[in-house]
């Protein structure tokens, strides 16, 4: 039977020759991930599975990134709980604040902990990011994380798939964030519910790895179980550069079945903005109109990588953030922070009037480092803009690319790069 890329990964991890969409399978796990919000809950559930030790201390990754550096006493207690568990279990991949740490979904690929063909679960919905590497990865609940840490396997319902065919090359200032916002605008936030978004087509080669991470990261915002890219020379070069394990390359069969096919011509895309309060409320930058803003956030697991910061710096260089705007830049990992420092990007941000933070999820989930007051508006390179996502329930979050975010910081309103460069 013909299978999609995701289905082939499931078959391999379930010890099967083939699997079918809709059936339940028990699959072996290559990595189990948790953060400072979700891991303490998993730790509480772990003893219920009758095990004293995790199934493999090298295949668990614990990353304190959401409320870190500790924003208050409760956050400190969450991190202390996770830290104690990591020490007790001898977890190899525990990443302490300041010690080459970062936002989990930028950090794990950077550390070479995920490779092509892997099957990864994480107690965080944006675990789907690793599909950029040709892996199956998806978010689960904390009790599922506990089960995974205990048994090294868990059950799944094999997803059907949507084929997303990319063609052409994007124009300057159009990147992965614009592609995924455009797609979500087309199919809606439930348009791929429990399906695999499988990206293909000659346009894939025109997207950088940072673009692909951004796209796969937001697959969940279309309701998808996962998003996944084919493994090409760019993927293999990235994996080699980051010391990943030997990749296992899977490709969809030519006659694999898909529920539907969506075609996107990258050459005609404009910078795209998602208006409150759903990622599907998209508008082209030419349709935005006059929307004044109070804050800009450039960072997150979606757009905090070095390529994202380079784009923002190119626009901000020699310019100033508007007097009425707070612009917060958050490199996704310590390595990205250091590289941005060495390349002079942080100097550009500071001279432009930006605040530069240590790596943290912080404002994305309304945790800290940029909470919005009633009535305030923020342009953010993050991934969700639900009611109250970044602060007060009467605040607003507009999702955009690093290019649009940087341009908006200068203009004091939502603006495209061509309007300020």
Dump pLDDT digits (tens) for 305-320: 999 999 999 999 999 9
5-264 CATH: 3.30.499.10
Dump pLDDT digits (tens) for 56-102: 999 999 999 999 899 999 999 999 999 999 999 999 999 999 888 99
Residue 367 is predicted with a pLDDT of 87
Q: Distances from the Cα of 233 to the Cαs of 204, 209, 253, 268, 294, in angstroms?
A: 11, 11, 19, 25, 42
Do 5-264 and 272-419 agree at the fold level?
A: yes
Secondary structure string (H, E, C) spanning 270-316: CCEEECCCCCCCEEEHHHCCCCECCEEEEEHHHHCCHHHHHHHHHHH
CATH of 272-419, one of 3.50.50.60, 3.90.1330.10, 3.30.499.10, 3.30.300.30: 3.30.499.10
Instruction: Note whether 414 and 408 are within 8 A (CB).
Output: yes
Assign 161 a pLDDT band (cuts: 50, 70, 90). Answer: very high
pLDDT at 277 over 80: yes
Choose between 224 and 365: higher pLDDT. 224
Dump pLDDT digits (tens) for 208-238: 999 999 999 999 999 999 999 999 999 999 9
Instruction: Note whether 228 and 195 are within 8 A (CB).
Output: no
Residue 244 is predicted with a pLDDT of 84
Distance of CA 44 to the CA centre of its chain: 26
Among the ranges given (187-191, 297-301, 367-371), the one the predictor scored with the smallest mean pLDDT = 367-371
- What pTM, to 2 d.p., does this model score? 0.95
Instruction: Note whether 50 and 56 are within 8 A (CB).
Output: no
Residue 59 is predicted with a pLDDT of 97
Residue 104 is predicted with a pLDDT of 95
β-bridge partners, 295? 326, 378
Q: Where are the domains positioned within the chain?
A: 5-264, 272-419
Dump pLDDT digits (tens) for 370-384: 999 999 999 999 999
Instruction: Note whether 55 and 147 are within 8 A (CB).
Output: no
Dump pLDDT digits (tens) for 388-420: 998 999 999 999 999 999 999 999 999 999 877
Assign 206 a pLDDT band (cuts: 50, 70, 90). Answer: very high
Residue 421 is predicted with a pLDDT of 76
Assign 241 a pLDDT band (cuts: 50, 70, 90). Answer: very high
Dump pLDDT digits (tens) for 16-34: 999 999 999 999 999 999 9
Residue 1 is predicted with a pLDDT of 80
Residue 193 is predicted with a pLDDT of 94
């Amino acid at each position: 039977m013909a299978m999609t890329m995701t289905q082939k990964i499931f078959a391999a991890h379930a010890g099967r020759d083939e699997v079918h969409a809709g059936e339940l399978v028990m699959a072996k796990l290559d990595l189990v991930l948790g953060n400072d919000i979700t891991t303490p809950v998993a730790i509480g559930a772990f003893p219920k599975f009758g095990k004293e030790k995790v199934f493999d201390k090298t295949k668990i990754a614990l990353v304190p990134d959401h409320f870190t550096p500790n924003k208050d006493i409760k956050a400190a207690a969450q991190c202390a709980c996770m830290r104690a568990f990591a020490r007790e279990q001898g977890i190899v991949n525990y990443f302490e604040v300041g010690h080459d740490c970062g936002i989990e979904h930028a950090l794990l690929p950077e550390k070479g902990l995920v490779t092509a063909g892997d099957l990864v679960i994480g107690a965080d919905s944006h675990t789907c990011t690793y599909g950029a590497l040709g892996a199956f990865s998806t978010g689960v609940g904390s009790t599922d994380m506990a089960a995974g840490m205990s048994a090294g396997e868990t059950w799944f319902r094999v997803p059907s798939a949507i084929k997303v065919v990319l063609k052409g090359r994007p124009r300057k200032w159009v990147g992965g964030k614009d592609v995924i916002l455009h797609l979500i605008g087309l199919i809606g936030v439930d348009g791929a519910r429990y399906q695999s978004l499988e990206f293909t087509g000659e346009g894939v080669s025109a997207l950088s790895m940072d673009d692909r991470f951004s796209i796969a990261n937001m697959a969940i915002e279309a309701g998808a179980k996962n998003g996944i890219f084919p493994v090409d020379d760019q993927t293999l070069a990235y994996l080699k550069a980051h010391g990943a394990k030997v990749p296992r390359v899977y490709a969809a069969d030519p006659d694999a079945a898909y529920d539907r096919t969506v075609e996107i011509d990258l050459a005609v895309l404009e910078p795209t903005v998602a208006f409150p309060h759903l990622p599907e409320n998209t508008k082209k930058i030419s349709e935005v109109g006059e929307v004044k803003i109070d804050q800009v956030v450039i960072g997150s697991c979606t757009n905090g990588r070095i390529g994202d910061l380079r784009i923002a710096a190119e626009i901000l260089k020699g310019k100033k953030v508007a007097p009425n705007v707070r612009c917060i830049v958050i490199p996704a990992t310590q390595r990205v922070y250091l590289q941005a420092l060495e390349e002079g990007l942080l100097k550009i941000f500071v001279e432009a009037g930006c605040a530069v933070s240590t790596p943290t999820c912080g404002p994305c989930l309304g945790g800290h480092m940029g909470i919005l007051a009633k009535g305030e508006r923020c342009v953010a390179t993050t991934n969700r803009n639900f009611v109250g996502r970044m602060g007060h329930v009467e605040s607003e979050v507009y999702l955009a690319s690093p290019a649009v975010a940087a341009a908006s910081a200068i203009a004091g309103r939502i603006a495209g790069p061509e309007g300020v460069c």
